[in-house]
Chains A and B, each alone.
Chain A
Amino acid sequence: MAELSLKGVVKRYGSYEIIRNASLDVADGEFVVFVGPSGCGKSTLLRMIAGLEHITDGEIRIGSTVVNDVEPADRGIAMVFQSYALYPHMTVEENLAFGLRMTGNPKVDTQRRVQRVADILQIRELMKRRPKQLSGGQRQRVAIGRAIVREPQVFLFDEPLSNLDAELRVQMRVEISRLHKELGTTMIYVTHDQTEAMTLADKIVVLRGGNIEQIGAPLDLYDNPANQFVAGFVGSPKMNFMSAEIIEATDHSVTITLLNQGNVRVTLPVERPRGGSGERVTLGIRPEHFVKAGQGDADLTIKVDVAEHLGNTSYIYANVTGGEQIIIEREESRNETNRDLLTVAIRSSHAFLFDSDGNRLR
């Protein structure tokens, strides 16, 4: 087991910068998830930690060793690939033992380790099968097994569940979480699925365009997003964003008017208000933070476009002018149907304000 740190890590292809000045500390035994949209650099960052990509600048440290120029095999890491990357011509047992066998590990120890992994992952009955005779979930388990058998200091997972169906993904997610508890090893996990990130991580690293946008515990990111991107990326359904304009800014509050919502006015508590009257801002509200009319700080009347009733909860979709879509989550709304007019209220304590650059006004 080991801690890991990145200091000012940069990756450039020619003049194109893929990763910009990434710094991060991962504690021993921590489960860290890199999350972000496609092309944000999360897999590149993981591959740089693995040593499969060289870093252009900065420093990567695993344990107390700077590993910038250390061969991938000597970094004490094991990686689980998105495509499983199993050796197709070998049985499960051979896949698990291959690395150890090739490096001259004693046969008895190899056998012991392989059997242990088979027990941990409950794949004993699959040992004589080849990858093509396994289901997606079983293959993923073998791929994880191949990583465990190396007894690494750090596990790296590159979107390991993205090829599985929804049900299996949930099941494997729980298994990976259980595995982390059992092994207690440092794990770094890449995904574009924010639900996976929220459920698995001790710490989430949100990336966009090669930049680390925010690092924090899942609920910290949810409750206190640093900017509009993180606010929109974390949470499902995603946060609603409404165009607004500042009417008045005082020492500790800002009053805005919602431009596409009939100029409804809301006053929000803001510690350090920036900008003055007339400045364009964006109001963010999570779907579950709307309350019944009259119970909040400002009422909003919307026309229901589509209502999805999921049993325990409902999602109301409303299209308003300016192309803004509002999603409202309500527990007791089974009677709402299309084209109903619905009045809900906004609580200013549960709303976020972002400036025109997407930075949060706190």
Chain B
Amino acid sequence: MQSSRNRAAYGFLAPYLLIFAVFWIWPIISSFVMSFQNTRINPWTFSPGANWGRLFSDPAFYNALKNTMIILVIQVPVMITLATIMAVLLNSPLLKAKGLFRFAFFAPVVVGEVAYAAVFRLMFNLDFGIVNKLLNAAGIPSISWFAEAPAAMALLIIAVTWRWAGYNAIIILAGLQSIPDDVYEAATLDRVSKLKQFIYITLPLLRPIILFCVVLSIIGSMQLFTEPFLITNRGGPGGGTETLGLFLYRQGFASLNFGYASAIAYTMAALAIAISLLNLWVGREPK
């Protein structure tokens, strides 16, 4: 009886398991094997040094890694801080038309990537972009956003922050709303100021949610592809904004070196997991 019921259950699960095996498990295993193969010759041969050896000595890889880390180290804290501030503002009883603001903050996520990239390219155009016009109005000379590597990097950080800060704010807002009002009322009766309530009550209680957002953002930053591809013109200028995601794409789909691309992919995944675990460990709840 039990085993026939199990069979029926597996029967229902079979279509999913089949698709999962073909499109998930098999590529994961296959790409892992591929990372140990020299895929630049035909037939492919087992040659661990071809990809993994190259990875550790390739200046282009280190450039992409450096760019990704700069974005991650600057963009994630800035975005999470902004998202927390936005969430607190959205949660304020003084704010009218909350629904409208919630939608406005979340809207960048649903805007098509190509459209958003095009708008950013226009806004940051050297000659007629609104950003430079505003800078000029403030007495600051125009910045060549696409021709100078630091400016292009800043542009990427601004773009990614614009796109994802609202998304994280909505997640943090959910966390804020789960903190009961009477905890704040108790603190008010304890003569604790609003600022101290935020520092000593809100932030510690939001910690799991903020950690979740940080981990999601780290994974997202490690895989960053759309923005450097579309906004800064394929990692330009001169590889100045080339990220690991873009480097992987170029190796895999421009140079068709699948073995090397697989090794990059595994390195990216390992880094994302390591940084996320470190983050979870640092932010763990004290015993």
Binding site for A on B (CB under 8 A): 180, 182-183, 185-193, 196, 200-201, 204-205, 207, 285
Docked-complex contact A81 and B186, CB < 8 angstroms = yes
Docked-complex contact B191 and A99, CB < 8 angstroms = yes
Contact of B185 among A77, A85, A103 (CB under 8 A): A85
Residues in B with CB closer than 8 Å to A88 are 183, 205
28 A-B residue pairings within 8 Å (CB atoms): A52-B188, A52-B189, A73-B188, A77-B189, A79-B185, A79-B186, A81-B182, A82-B182, A83-B180, A83-B182, A85-B180, A85-B182, A85-B186, A87-B183, A87-B186, A87-B187, A88-B205, A89-B204, A89-B205, A98-B187, A98-B200, A102-B190, A102-B191, A102-B192, A102-B200, A103-B191, A103-B192, A150-B190
Report Cα–Cα, A339/B3, bound state, in Å. Answer: 55
Secondary structure at the B interface, as helix, strand, loop or mixed, is helix
Residues in B with CB closer than 8 Å to A89 are 204-205, 207, 285
Please tell me if A146 contacts chain B, counting CB pairs below 8 Å. yes
Give the total of A residues in contact with B, Cβ under 8 Å: 22
Report Cα–Cα, A79/B190, bound state, in Å. Answer: 10
Please tell me if A198 contacts chain B, counting CB pairs below 8 Å. no
Q: How far is the CB of B209 from chain A (nearest CB, A)?
A: 13
Residues in B with CB closer than 8 Å to A79 are 185-186, 189
Q: How far is the CB of A98 from chain B (nearest CB, A)?
A: 6
Docked-complex contact B186 and A146, CB < 8 angstroms = yes
Report Cα–Cα, A144/B149, bound state, in Å. Answer: 61
Report Cα–Cα, A77/B285, bound state, in Å. Answer: 33
Q: How far is the CB of B33 from chain A (nearest CB, A)?
A: 47
Residues in A with CB closer than 8 Å to B205 are 88-89
Docked-complex contact B201 and A87, CB < 8 angstroms = yes
Contact of B189 among A50, A86, A87 (CB under 8 A): A50
Please tell me if A216 contacts chain B, counting CB pairs below 8 Å. no
Please tell me if A316 contacts chain B, counting CB pairs below 8 Å. no
Residues in A with CB closer than 8 Å to B188 are 52, 72-73
Report Cα–Cα, A99/B183, bound state, in Å. Answer: 12
Docked-complex contact B185 and A52, CB < 8 angstroms = yes
Residues in A with CB closer than 8 Å to B200 are 98, 102
Interface residues of A in 40-77 (CB under 8 A from B): 50, 52, 72-74, 77
Docked-complex contact B204 and A98, CB < 8 angstroms = no
Closest to A158 in B: B182
Contact of A73 among B180, B182, B183, B191 (CB under 8 A): B191
Closest to A47 in B: B185
Please tell me if A78 contacts chain B, counting CB pairs below 8 Å. yes
Docked-complex contact A99 and B182, CB < 8 angstroms = no
Beyond known contacts A52-B185, A83-B182, A85-B185: 7 more, CB 8 A cutoff: A72-B189, A87-B187, A88-B183, A98-B192, A99-B187, A102-B190, A150-B190
Q: How far is the CB of A100 from chain B (nearest CB, A)?
A: 8
Q: How far is the CB of B82 from chain A (nearest CB, A)?
A: 24
Q: How far is the CB of A103 from chain B (nearest CB, A)?
A: 5
Q: How far is the CB of B24 from chain A (nearest CB, A)?
A: 37
Residues in B with CB closer than 8 Å to A85 are 180, 182-183, 185-186
Docked-complex contact B190 and A73, CB < 8 angstroms = yes
Residues in B with CB closer than 8 Å to A81 are 182, 185-186
From B183, B189, B193, B207, residue with most partner A Cβ within 10 Å = B189
Residues in B with CB closer than 8 Å to A86 are 183, 186
Closest to A102 in B: B192
Closest to B285 in A: A89
Residues in A with CB closer than 8 Å to B207 are 89
Residues in B with CB closer than 8 Å to A82 are 182
From B185, B191, B201, residue with most partner A Cβ within 10 Å = B191
Q: How far is the CB of A349 from chain B (nearest CB, A)?
A: 48
Contact of B190 among A74, A83, A99 (CB under 8 A): A99
Residues in A with CB closer than 8 Å to B189 are 50, 52, 72-73, 77-79, 99, 150
From A73, A86, A146, A150, residue with most partner B Cβ within 10 Å = A73
Contact of A99 among B185, B192, B204 (CB under 8 A): B192
Residues in B with CB closer than 8 Å to A74 are 191
Docked-complex contact A98 and B190, CB < 8 angstroms = yes
Q: How far is the CB of A46 from chain B (nearest CB, A)?
A: 12
Interface flags for A99-115 (1: CB within 8 Å of B; 0: not) read 10011000000000000
Q: How far is the CB of A94 from chain B (nearest CB, A)?
A: 10
Interface residues of A in 172-189 (CB under 8 A from B): none
Residues in B with CB closer than 8 Å to A150 are 189-190
Interface flags for A138-165 (1: CB within 8 Å of B; 0: not) read 0000000010001000000000000000
